[in-house]
Each structure stands twice: as C-alpha cells, then as structure tokens.
Amino acid sequence: MLKRILLLIVLLLISTYLVVAITAFNRKPAGQVCHDMELVIQDTAYASFITKKEVTGILEKKDILPIGKPMDHIRSKTLEKELAQHPLIDEVECYKTPSGKICVEVSQRVPILRVMSTNGENYYLDNKGEVMPPNAKCIAHLAIVTGKAEKSFTMRYLYKFGVFLQNNKFWNAQIEQIHVLPDRNVELVPRVGNHIIYLGKLDDFEHKLDRVKTFYEKGLNKVGWNKYSRINVEFSNQIICTKRKE
C-alpha cells in the first residue's frame, strides 16, 4: 500500500512539473518584440516570380513589416491577406514562434505551358488552369503552345495535357512544342528526334503517347531516331510512320 501511495505522489509531481514547464515555455514575455522574419518562397525550381526583397517591400509599403513591432500587435492573417493579393502568389502562411520570430511561407503560382498563338495571345497557363501574364520570370523549360490555340480550347483541353506533362517525367522532358492546327488537331515537336508526333484530337492522349513511347523503345532505338519525319498515332491500335526523304 505504501509503495502505491509513493508511486501516485511521484506521478502527481511529474505531471505538475510538466504542466508548469509547458506553460512557462509557451508564455510570451511581456512586451516581446519581433526580432526577425523568416521568409521561405516555394517552387523556385519552376519560377522566380516573387523574390524575398519584393515580399519585404509589399509589407513595408503597407506598414505591416513585423520586425521591430510588438508580437501582440502583429496579426498573421493580415500579413497573409495582403501578400495573397499579389497576382503571382498562390498561397501564403504566416505564424509566430515563441522566440519572437515571424515565419512567412509563400507559394508561387506554377506555370505548366507557355502559349504563343497565331492570334497574338501570349501568356502562361498555371497548374490550376488560370492565365498568368507573359512578363512573369519563368525559369523552367515549358512546352510552348503555338498555332490556332484559342484561349477557350487551351484552358479546357490543353490544360489537362499540360498537367499530364508536369506529372510525367519522360514526356515533360521530351515535348518542346505543342502545335494546334486549324481543325483543333494537335501535333507535337519533340526535343530528341527530328520528327513530328501527330496526335489528332487530344482524346485519349495518354494511351497515344504510351504507344509512341513503346515505338521509341522497340523501333527507333533500332532503326535510328531520324528515320521518320512523322509519327501518326491518331487511330487506335496502329502507328503510321512517314519515312524521311533521302
């Protein structure tokens, strides 16, 4: 019985200590001032739309730069709201640390296609299907859309193809240009090999490209990548190749 009582007393003391320690750790010193702002910009491998200097400038212009201000006066949601208004910022998350630092994480919009159509339209399309301005500083190698690429067609059909390329390592590296013909059929210009891939309609494009990849591995690797000028996979279960003229 005595051992049980002693054990209960020890457990009670430990629990009390933990509660006091956690409370003391989380308690913010009175009048604590923000001494630093840690800024992280995501997706820099795709684009450099937003720089740390630009983010700091936005906060300074709105007079809400947190450094040097009392932590109790800083509103994380206000910082998020102001930064999220930037047209090239996708998401923002701000939070405080017990040490008196503000952390800001900025996610940029991610472009998946560059559109330069014959009707004079020039813009990026992001991974959410939204149009981005052409003066954005994109550093990723994106497929360029040319030809009769009307915006309605691009946002409805080519957007899905762009998402596919973004998620497919092989074809994202291989496709350099997407050309839209007047009848809305599509042909692709690859980076490797001096040929055109004719898809026809974009319907079932994943299976069409699977067939092309198999043909690459079992055909072109043996006969040479410049043997054909055109590879047509418009129709199911067949590949029609046009030999290059000597």
Strands 228-232 and 240-243, sheet pairing:
antiparallel
pTM of this prediction exceeds 0.85 = no
List pLDDT tens digits, range 64-83.
Answer: 999 999 999 999 999 999 99
User: What is the extent of the structural domain holding 103?
Assistant: 36-108
- Is 31 a member of any domain? no
Q: Are residue 73 and residue 99 in the same domain, yes or no?
A: yes
- The rounded mean pLDDT for the chain is 86
Report CA dihedral (119, 144, 242, 217) to the nearest 10 degrees. Answer: -160
List pLDDT tens digits, range 154-213.
Answer: 999 999 999 999 999 999 999 999 999 999 999 999 998 889 999 999 989 999 999 999
Helix (H, G, I), strand (E, B), or coil: what is residue 60?
helix
Q: What angle do CA 104, 107, 112 make, to 5 degrees?
A: 170
Q: Are residue 124 and residue 207 in the same domain, yes or no?
A: yes
Q: Are residue 96 and residue 164 in the same domain, yes or no?
A: no
**pLDDT score of 58:** 93
Q: Are residue 89 and residue 130 in the same domain, yes or no?
A: no
Q: Are residue 73 and residue 101 in the same domain, yes or no?
A: yes
- Is 101 a member of any domain? yes
Helix (H, G, I), strand (E, B), or coil: what is residue 200?
strand
- Is 8 a member of any domain? no
- Is 51 a member of any domain? yes
- Is 25 a member of any domain? no
Single-letter amino acid, residue 54: E
- If you average pLDDT over residues 97-125, what whole number do you get? 91
List pLDDT tens digits, range 78-97.
Answer: 999 999 998 888 999 999 99
Helix (H, G, I), strand (E, B), or coil: what is residue 44?
coil
Q: What percent of the chain has pLDDT over 70?
A: 86
Q: Are residue 180 and residue 120 in the same domain, yes or no?
A: yes
- pLDDT over threshold 50, residue 215: yes
- Is 10 a member of any domain? no
Q: CATH number of the domain that 103 lies in?
A: 3.10.20.310
Q: CATH number of the domain that 220 lies in?
A: 3.40.50.11690
Q: What is d(CA 245, CA 231) in angstroms, rounded to the nearest whole number?
A: 14
